[in-house]
Structures are given as structure tokens and as C-alpha cells.
Structure 1
Amino acid sequence: MRFAPRCPACNLDFDSFNVGDGAAAFLTLGIGTIITILGIVVELTFEPAWWVHVALWLPLTIVAVLGTTRWTKAALAALEYRNNAGEGRIERRP
């Protein structure tokens, strides 16, 4: 998922942001933890067949990660803008 090159309302240059794939990795780890806990609870409570786990958790994981990637990338870009973050800059304080 990519940003538009510029904001249509204020003409802010989105190409200057370096969000990358950090959002997807963060979401995969976070949502993967939640899905794993839910899978363990379902297994210990209901003891379903293995294919029930595949049918439940695989689509849920994919939908959850893809559904929240846009929001997370936007939040990372907003934090980068607010904090005036940039790559490779070190400010020395006296």
C-alpha cells in the first residue's frame, strides 16, 4: 500500500516520508500474538480439527493485517511529520 504523491487538500509532499514496511511487520507481530492466543484458547476449550484452525485463523489474520495497514502507515507518517523526523540526522546539543 502506497501513499499518494501529494495531499490533494494542502499539497503536502508525501514522498518525503520514509514509512517503509515497518507498519506491516509491527502489525504481523501484534496481530499474530493475538491470533495465537485465541487459537490456543479455542484449542483448549473446544478441541476442533486442525482444518478448523486453518479456516478460522488464516483468513482472520490476513484481513486484520491488511485492514489495519493503511491506518498504521498513516499514523507512522503523522508521527514522522509531527516530530520532524528524518533519516541520518544527528543533532548535537551544546
Structure 2
Amino acid sequence: MAGIATERNLQWIFRTGLLGLCPCCGERRMFCCWLKLEEECETCGLNYRFAAPDDGPAFFSLCIVAFPLTFFVVWLQVAFDPPWWVHLVTSLPLMALGCVLPLRPIKGWLVASQYVNRAQEAGSEVLWNRLHNREGRSDFED
């Protein structure tokens, strides 16, 4: 049974995260603009302050796109020794678009993962609740 719940969680994370939907209800968008999260979901009221993807989207984008694309650029240079403008026309746009376009789906995926897995920094829940006068309540209950 645990495998089925995990598989459902993964499907939910990928569906809501990659489409930018609320990870709680799956109804409304979690983004108000390109990479900025809404304050809360208009449908279910989920407050997005729990979300802390930080530099994760940029890291994954660089690892998934920029690192392999660097090999292509080096291969292009070594194999054909093209003039500089070829890299300006091919390598630069591929690198820029390849790293920027996946940022939003990756950030949505990370936020959905944090919500579904109730992820937070170890030992920070008591301090967070004390700072926000929320004794005994989890940050995920809103």
C-alpha cells in the first residue's frame, strides 16, 4: 500500500508542480508572475510561506541543461572551429533559453514536493511557530 501512496504523491507532485497549480487543491495557479509565488491560494487558502525553493531551480536548470550543452559547444568548437558569430547565433541562445525556460516548472515542482513531503529545515518548526505566535500548529495547516 505504501508504494501506491508514494506513486500517487509523485504523480500529484509532477502534475501540480510542472503545471504551476496549487499543491493542496490543484485548482489555482501558484505563481502570480514568472517566478513569484502567490501569497495564498484563492480556492483553498493555502499560504505559500512554507515554500523555500531558494536556488534549487537554478541549480537543476544548470545541471540538466547547461552542463550537457557545454559539451555540445566544446564539440562544435573542436570539430568545426567555426567563427565566433556561429557561437553567438547557436550556443548563446540555446544556453540562455535552455536555462531560463525550465525555471518555472522546476520551481513549481520543488514547491509541490515541499508541500506533499512537509519538508522544512530540521528543528526549525518550534522556532518558526514561536516567531509567528502559532503555538502547536504546523505551518502546513493553513
Q: Percent identity?
A: 28
Q: 1:12 aligns with which of 41, 46, 64?
A: 46
Following TM superposition, by how much is the alpha carbon of 1:71 offset from its aligned partner in structure 2, in angstroms? Answer: 0.3
Of stretches 16-25 and 65-74 in structure 1, the one that deviates more from structure 2 is: 16-25
CA offset digits 1:30-55 (Å, max 9, x no partner): 31112112113323443311221132
Q: After TM superposition, which residue ranges in structure 1, 4 or more long, deviate above 6 angstroms?
A: none
Q: How does 1:1-94 map to 2 (within 5 A)?
A: 1-89=35-123
Following TM superposition, by how much is the alpha carbon of 1:59 offset from its aligned partner in structure 2, in angstroms? Answer: 1.8
Following TM superposition, by how much is the alpha carbon of 1:25 offset from its aligned partner in structure 2, in angstroms? Answer: 2.2
Structure 1 unaligned blocks of 5 or more: none
AA matched with 2:64: G
| Distance in 2 separating the partners of 1:50 and 1:39 | 12
CA offset digits 1:54-92 (Å, max 9, x no partner): 3211222111221110000011111111111112338xx
Structure 2 unaligned blocks of 5 or more: 1-34, 125-142
AA matched with 1:88: A
Is the alpha carbon distance of 1:65 and 1:8 closer, same or farther for their aligned partners in structure 2, counting shifts above 3 Å? farther
Aligned length: 90
2:66 touches 2:98 (CA, 8 Å); kept in 1?
no
TM-score by length of 2: 0.55
